[in-house]
Homo-oligomer: A and B are copies of this chain.
């Protein structure tokens, strides 16, 4: 039986947002399901987006003195259990290795769900003096968390990420690191992914298992649901004490260092899809697009057209851009649809008439805007259009965010606003866990963060009426 590839339509996002998302993941060839339940394969086009994200982030991490390492993927159960809160948080999701070759292991080994324990164990053996601090480490790897329900990029039993782990001489330095890395993520979301974020602190209920404080960047998707973008944690010296990480201080006494960790994952690809995509497919920010410019020859059988198209491609590659040319036999309509599905930020068209006029046509993916440019100005015009693509995407996403933040003064009002509009619902909050649980139970929303930029919406908690301590954002989250 012969198999033939078919081009199919994707579901409209207004009809079924979840199906629209899945359709893009598959049709843009980002991921494919594996034969292991709950696991996904990052296909070349999806992985190329991740590679671009990695390259840019890794460069930023290194600018601030971070270095990469590789820790073992398996963690002995006893080591994982040394810090009580962490293991309680992760134990239900751990995959266990129990056999090596034909022998059963004396102690079972956890596939890392996160690596604080391994870093601490390592530091307990190599750290000696305050002169060696800070240690600013990061690793790129995959982790496993045995989730019940999974969705490509958003929730997968295995996912790819970076996990930064640092230790510092003082609490102040560690806190500054936590904030610096949160801002690094926020800048990455806004300046690279064109996704505006809300920066804030997680509540005690929502913070990382074992952390003293967790900071987060929260963003809003096109269906007005919230997505946690990346997080940064401050641990104090809790893990240092649990894992006996010590150093000789300036005063010659033995001290415990202060610790942070911070992570971002392939879930960011899911954020890009849902923050920018449309009913024609993916819309990629130029900075991470595997192909930034697709060159399409019009009437390519006419003399000189292919050569001209190739010339444009070569010029743009020489200008440092990621460029492809499609000179296949497929129709112009098919090609346009194909590269729209793939989210290529800019299309360059050139045909016989353009050649006569010494021009080509640039078409932006995000808003369909066409610009005719003189061939002599190609490089600068393309750079300008790519900048406009990024800016246009950011502005549109910012408008979506700004127009979907609503103030409420009671749980009922918060619930009604969420049901009507989605988005972030901001209220005053007393800080009690019970109010957070009430909001979840009665309005179906979790706390997203206590934004750094506080507003005074009133005097009392929207849930219990007691004096308020914070303004907080609530939402329905991925």
In the complex, A301 has a CB within 8 A of chain B: no
What are the interface flags for A127-168 relative to B under an 8 Å C-beta threshold, 1 for contact and 0 otherwise?
A: 011001000010001101010000000000110100000000
Interface residues of chain A, those whose CB is within 8 Å of chain B, are: 1-5, 32, 34-36, 39-44, 47-48, 50-51, 67-76, 79, 91-102, 108-109, 111, 118, 121-122, 125-126, 128-129, 132, 137, 141-142, 144, 146, 157-158, 160, 246-248, 252, 254
With A96-B97, A146-B101 known to touch, is A252 a contact of B35 (CB < 8 Å)? no
Given contacts A4-B248, A69-B44, A254-B2, contact A99 B92 (CB under 8 A): no
Select A142's contact among B1, B70, B129, beta carbons within 8 Å.
B70
Specify the chain B residue showing the minimal Cβ separation from A90. Answer: B101
Are B4 and A122 touching (Cβ within 8 A)? no
A47-B69, A48-B67 are contacts. A101–B97 as well, Cβ < 8 Å?
A: no
Known pairs A5-B129, A34-B118, A41-B122; A92 contacts B102 (CB<8 A): yes
Asked if B5 and A74 make an inter-chain contact with CB atoms under 8 angstroms apart, the answer reads: no
The listed residue (B72, B75, B100, B144) touching A41 by CB distance below 8 A is B72
Bound-complex Cα distance A460 to B96 (A): 55
The answer to whether A3 touches B128 (Cβ under 8 A) is yes
With contacts A1-B254, A5-B129, A95-B100 known, what are 16 further pairs, Cβ within 8 A? Answer: A2-B248, A3-B246, A35-B79, A36-B72, A41-B69, A41-B71, A42-B70, A44-B137, A50-B70, A73-B73, A73-B111, A73-B158, A91-B101, A95-B101, A99-B108, A141-B142
Identical chains bound together, number:
2
Known contacts A3-B246, A122-B34, A125-B32; A70/B47 CB under 8 A = yes
Cα-based distance from A359 to B398 in the complex (angstroms):
57
Task: Tell whether A35 pairs with B146 under 8 Å between CB atoms, given A41-B122, A68-B48, A128-B4.
Answer: no
| Residues on B with beta carbons closer than 8 Å to the beta carbon of A125 | 32
Are A128 and B5 CB-contacts (below 8 A) given A76-B36, A158-B74?
A: yes
Contact of B41 with A70 in the complex, beta carbons under 8 Å: yes
Q: Is the interface of A mostly helix, strand, loop or mixed?
A: mixed
With a cutoff of 8 Å between Cβ atoms, the chain B residues found around residue A102 in the complex are 92
Q: Do A68 and B41 contact each other (CB < 8 Å), given the known contacts A97-B96, A102-B92?
A: no
Whether A73 and B144, one on each chain, are in contact in the complex, defined by CB atoms closer than 8 angstroms, is: yes
Could you say which of B4, B91, B96, B129 contacts A98, with CB atoms under 8 Å apart?
A: B96
What is the bound-complex CA distance between A71 and B70, given in angstroms?
Answer: 19
By the criterion CB–CB under 8 Å, are A111 and B128 in contact?
Answer: no
CA distance A75 to B41 in the complex (A): 12
Q: Report the minimum CB–CB distance from A169 to chain B (whole Å).
A: 15
- Give, as a whole number of angstroms, the nearest-CB distance from A335 to chain B: 15
Q: Cβ of A68 and Cβ of B97 under 8 Å apart?
A: no
Bound CA–CA A35/B96 (angstroms): 17
Choose among B100, B129, B158 the residue that contacts A146 (Cβ–Cβ < 8 A). B100
